Each structure stands twice: as structure tokens, then as C-alpha cells.
Amino acid sequence: MNTFGQLFRVTTFGESHSGAVGCVIDGCPPRIAIDSKEIETELARRATGQSHITSGRREAEQVEILSGLTDGKTLGTPICILVKNSDARPQDYANLKDVYRPSHADFTYDQKYGIRAASGGGRASARETTARVMAGVIARKILHEWYGTEILAYVSRVKDIAAQIDLKNITLKKIEANIMRCPDEKVAKQMIALVEQMKAAGNSVGGVVSCIARNVPVGLGDPVFDKLEATLARALMSLPATKGFEIGSGFGGTYLTGREHNDPFYQKADGTIGTTTNNSGGIQGGISNGEDITMNIAFKPTSTITESQETVNTKGNKVTLDNLSGRHDPCVLPRAVPIVEAMVALTLVDHALRQRVIK
């Protein structure tokens, strides 16, 4: 299943070390202004080699829009976008083609298909998310033009180092102020130091990316099996290395009583209805209520480490892995931020189009 969405449909293609990665977007409304440079700007946030705490792979990320636009505006026809892989090194994986790396997709892909792309993990690689970010740029632009929607993700925790964040004051400028993409500058320094320590030791670390979506219209979501939070969970849990999803109060809400957790309604000065608290995370009954949508997404430590590990090969024989080659992130979180934003945007724009059909 390489397609996401019902009306705004995105199909991604390409492997980590194939000729290119890209996407086909079908169902995009016409007359949306799109420029390859704005897509490249967003790809730079996801790109490898952007700092000393990310993978050393350096891709040019030069966007090619092959169809669906004229004079810089969408036609309403399928849009094909790709970037070529210019820094692939399949030779780094030559000695691993018959080895099952711990916690990678090597074993499961082999068992499912009887064949796998041994170089860089193939479709299981985070390289595939390049296509999601490209499609996400268009989705975010539609949401902003229609509703003024703003989607901001940020690193809120690395291992046991947690930031203290005031959601009202989060801005893109604060998020991009450091290489960790944590708007708490003091805590960001501690996070960076920990990742540096893990990298030096040949180890890795995980954590949490949080996301807030502002100015989301009321009414998005389709009960009962396509509740908005259910679609968001599916979208975000489809990302590589994700292991958990929370919305609103999440698991923390289980410590509260009903009286403590309920979000009372009130009438705003402009006559619209709002809630005094937001434990629901902007969604009630599977439908957006107009409040900010708040989410937490858990990412595991990167599977590829250089510390010695025991595993087996395709014949089941014991193998010791030492000093794995390849270029990998000691922590995926900083580069996961724009990917999370993209998947939230793709989810919201698809539901927005579906809502416009019925109302």
C-alpha cells in the first residue's frame, strides 16, 4: 500500500539507493501556486547532512516537477514530483545482503516478499519520506490558503531530557533556532550534547516529536472508522521508527477524572463556540472542534549503530556485526519534524476535501 488519502491521494515511489524517489499527487485542486524552490526549502529541513548530529549522506534534493502544473499553478491533474538520488552508496551494504540487522526490516521483508533491497533498507528507509515532504508542501499551502491553518512540529523530548513548552508561544523561528529543532533553547543544548555522546559511542537515541495544528476548521473527520484522530494516527505511525501516538491528553488523561478531563464550552466574543481547556486535543467524536490539534509521536532509537551486535544471517547462522558502514542518524528526531508536519497536512487536506463534498 503505497498510496495515502481518499480525495487528495499521494503515491510515493523509489528506494533508498534507487535512481530517484518521488510522488504522484492525484486530486489536488486547480489554481494552487507551486514553485519547486519552496519544495526544496522544505526538503532542506528533512535533508541529511544538515548538521553534525544527522546522517552524513548529502543529496542535492533538486526537485523536478514533471506534470500537473502550467505557469506555476496546479491544473487539477496528477502532479508528479521527483528528486534523483545523487549520493547513493550501495557498496556500503555489500557485506550485509545475507545478514539480518537487528531491529531493521531485513528479516520481515525477506519473509514477506522472498526478496529485498539490501542497500539502505529500500522502501523501509527514511529516504522514502522525501516524497511525503514534497506532497506535504502542497497540502499545507492549500490549508493555509483556505483556512489559515498552521502546522508546527518540534522535538519535545530526547530520551529522558524533556523540554518545557508553552504552546501559545511556539513559532517556526523558535523551532528552527537550533539544530535539534527544540523551541526550548536551554534544553536543546542538553539534547544535542546527549546525541553527540551517543554518536561518539556508536550508539543512538530516540524521543518524542510533538505537533500543533492551529486554525483547523470545525467538522473534519468521518466517523466511525475514519475519525480524524484515527487517520492522523495511521498517517504518523506509517513513518519509519515510530512507536507511539498520543492526541490531546493522551495517556496522561488516564490519570484524571471525568470532571478534570472534560473541556467546557463557551461562546467567544465573535459568536463562535470554543472550549476553556483542550484535553480533547482539538477533536471530539472523531471530528475537529476548531481548537488546536495537539499530538505527540514517539520515535525509537535509530536501529543502525556501530557498537558490536549479535544477529544471524539468512541461513540462521550466528553473525557478529562490528563497525557497520553506511551513513546514519544517531537520532532521527530533528529530521523527523518536517516529515511529521507533512503527514499531518496530508491528513487534514484530505479530510477538508471530503468535508467540502458533503457541505
Instruction: Give the residue with greater pLDDT, 325 vs 41.
Output: 41
Residue the block writes with cell 523530548: 157
Q: Are 235 and 329 in contact (CB under 8 A)?
A: no
pLDDT for 34 beyond 90: yes
Q: How far is 311 from 319, CA to CA, in rounded Å? A: 5
The pLDDT value recorded for residue 132 is: 98
**Mean confidence (pLDDT) of the chain:** 93
Q: Are 320 and 309 in contact (CB under 8 A)?
A: yes
Region 352-358: mean pLDDT is: 95
Residue the block writes with cell 544538515: 50
Q: How far is 111 from 118, CA to CA, in rounded Å? A: 14
Give the count of domains, the chain.
1
Distances (CA, A) of 197 to 65, 154, 193: 40, 21, 6
Secondary structure (DSSP) of 164-231: ---GGG--HHHHTTSTT--S-HHHHHHHHHHHHHHHHTT----EEEEEEEESPPTT--BTTTB-HHHH
Region 151-159: mean pLDDT is: 98
Share of the chain above pLDDT 70, in %: 97
Peptide bond into 224 cis (omega under 30): yes
Residue 40: which domain range?
3-358
The pLDDT value recorded for residue 89 is: 66
Region 58-70: mean pLDDT is: 91
Order across the sheet with 79-84: list the strands: 3-4, 9-13, 20-26, 79-84, 63-67
Contacts of 150 (CB under 8 A, 6+ apart): 144, 213, 214, 215
Among the listed residues 268, 271, 283, 150, the one whose alpha carbon sits nearest the alpha carbon of residue 212: 150
Q: What pTM does this model have?
A: 0.95
The pLDDT value recorded for residue 77 is: 98
Query: Which three cell numbers, joined as nine digits, stand for 284?
Result: 471530539
Q: Which of 195-199, 281-285, 328-332 has the lowest mean pLDDT?
A: 328-332
Q: Are 189 and 196 in contact (CB under 8 A)?
A: no
Q: What is the CATH number of the domain that holds 306?
A: 3.60.150.10
pLDDT in tens, 67-114: 999 999 999 999 999 999 886 666 667 778 899 999 999 999 999 999
Q: How far is 32 from 141, CA to CA, in rounded Å? A: 8
Query: Which three cell numbers, joined as nine digits, stand for 7?
Result: 480525495
Share of the chain above pLDDT 90, in %: 81
pLDDT in tens, 162-200: 999 999 999 999 999 999 999 999 999 999 999 999 999
Among the listed residues 329, 328, 323, 326, the one whose alpha carbon sits nearest the alpha carbon of residue 309: 323
pLDDT bucket at 355, cuts 50 / 70 / 90: very high
